[in-house]
Amino acid sequence: TVPLDSGAEVLVYPNGTIEYDPNGAFDSLPDGVTAEDCFPYTVSDESMEASAEVCIMIVGEYVEEAAGNQPPVADDDGETTSADMTVTTNIVLNDSDPDGDDLTVTIVEGEPIGSDGTSVPLDSGAEVMVYPNGTIEYDPNGVYDSLPEGETVTDCFDYTVSDGSGSATAQVCITVEGVNDPPVAEDDSVVTDNNSTVTGSVLGNDSDPDGDSVSVVSVDGSPVTEECTLVSDDEGSLTMCSNGTYSFDPGTDFDDLGRGNFTIVCFNYVIMDDSETDSAELCIRVTGENDPPVAEDDTESTMQDEMVTENMLENDSDPNDNELTVT
């Protein structure tokens, strides 16, 4: 057991465990006021040593008022914010002290407040930055992103103010209002060959933080209706429906794509919930396959006693520009 200069005692074990006993040294520390008790220690690895310091934060519980001092008066506070916005206010502006003493916030939800401010995690998952002068910054911290638009929740926490001798406790309640968060659209990619139609849905990997239903409202700048919308150019044709289902038909636009080669065609689409939007891309990788040649009938004339020579492949063709032979 080691007696400290403060009057406290600490029992220290070789394995690093300590038992700190205030030993009555801080019995007169006013309620809500904090003090720090520090002591050095040394560790050794048999050949070398290193030193550091342990500091214990003590929170006073002494409730007897100093002679002539009257305790402060703390009043509850309320504030409103949206689910995606930090709100700043001062919680001591409506508090008072009969003696005119300056007030400081010393404790929030059991956490001592340091001179430079302290970030206090709340049970809700939100966070509040608290400064001794009473300024607070309440951050919903994403906890209420799923709160539907128009609905509210209340998040409350206790705080203690001190005039240096006495203290008082009150409650802060923040009303959080739900807002419509935009949906999240993720890019999609599929593979097909130049002779095959491919189908799918672009909404399978999209989401909405509020759980709202979403739909496709446009593709490559063209509005998408419930009856679906066809987008066609010289790189196949895409049919997109509002429920996210699509069908891509390469048609004959990629017939000259050689076997083993590929090209990528992308379409931009926009999704919407009740009022917010987001966009992503549907990209289709079209791979070349060997398309069959095209043979055209041939005609020629000759005299009954004359031979005629002709190349019957001259009017035949191959979409992939492969060399043709007669088999």
Q: Could you tell me the CATH number of the domain that includes residue 110? A: 2.60.40
Say if residues 179 and 276 touch (Cβ distance below 8 Å): no
Are 199 and 315 in a shared domain?
Answer: yes
Instruction: Please give the tally of structural domains in the chain.
Output: 3
User: Would you say residue 191 lies in a domain?
Assistant: yes
The reply to whether 71 falls in a domain is no
Residues 117 and 232 in one domain: no
Last residue of a domain, one of 160, 177, 194: 177
How far apart (Å, rounded) are the C-alpha atoms in residues 195 and 4?
A: 86
**CB-based burial label for 69 (10 Å; 0-12, 13-18, 19+):** middle
| Residue the block writes with tokens 């038909």 | 249
- 65 assigned to some structural domain: no
Which domain does 90 fall in, by range? 77-177
Predicted confidence (pLDDT) per residue in 235-262, tens digit? 999 999 999 999 999 998 998 888 888 9
Rounded to whole angstroms, the Cα distance separating 132 from 104 reads 5
Residue 70 lies in a domain: no
pLDDT category of residue 312 using cuts at 50, 70 and 90: low
Give pLDDT tens digits for 78-108.
Answer: 999 999 999 999 999 999 999 899 999 999 9
The proportion of the chain whose per-residue pLDDT surpasses 90, expressed as a percent, equals 67
Last residue of a domain, one of 177, 199, 224: 177
The whole-angstrom separation of Cα 216 and Cα 169 is 53
Question: In terms of domains, do 92 and 149 share one?
Answer: yes
pLDDT at residue 146, as a whole number: 86
Q: 54 and 41 in contact (C-beta within 8 Å)? A: yes
Same domain, 190 and 320: yes
* Consecutive H or E run containing 38: strand 34-44
Each residue's pLDDT tens digit, 202-228: 999 999 988 889 999 999 999 998 889
Q: CA-CA distance, 59 to 90, in Å (whole number)?
A: 23
pLDDT tens for each residue of 254-286: 988 888 889 999 999 999 998 999 999 999 999
pLDDT in tens, 161-196: 999 999 999 999 999 999 998 999 999 999 999 989
- By residue count, the chain amounts to 327
Q: How confident is the model at residue 9 (pLDDT cuts 50, 70, 90)?
A: very high
- Are 86 and 158 in the same domain? yes
Tell whether 255 and 268 lie within a shared domain: yes
Average pLDDT over residues 56-80: 84
Tell me if 68 is assigned to some domain: no
Compute the distance between CA of residue 236 and CA of residue 246 in angstroms, rounded to an integer: 13
Same domain, 297 and 161: no
Res. 234: pLDDT tops 90: no
Is the model's pLDDT at 313 over the cut of 60?
A: no
pLDDT-based confidence at residue 316 (cuts at 50, 70, 90): low
The verdict on residue 14 lying in a domain is yes
Give the integer Cα–Cα distance in Å for 278 and 181. 11
Question: Is 66 within a domain?
Answer: no
pLDDT given for residue 47 in this prediction: 86
148 and 267, same domain (yes or no) = no
What is this structure's pTM?
Answer: 0.55
Q: Are residues 205 and 301 in the same domain?
A: yes
Residue 324 has pLDDT above 70, yes or no: no
Tell me which residue of 173, 172, 171, 90 sits closest to 135, measured CA to CA: 90
**CATH code at 248?**
2.60.40.60
- How much is the pLDDT for 303? 76
User: Final residue of a domain: which of 128, 152, 177?
Assistant: 177
- For the chain, percent of residues with pLDDT exceeding 70: 91
Q: Are both 285 and 169 inside the same structural domain?
A: no
* Weakest-pLDDT range from 62-76, 186-200, 205-219, 290-304: 290-304
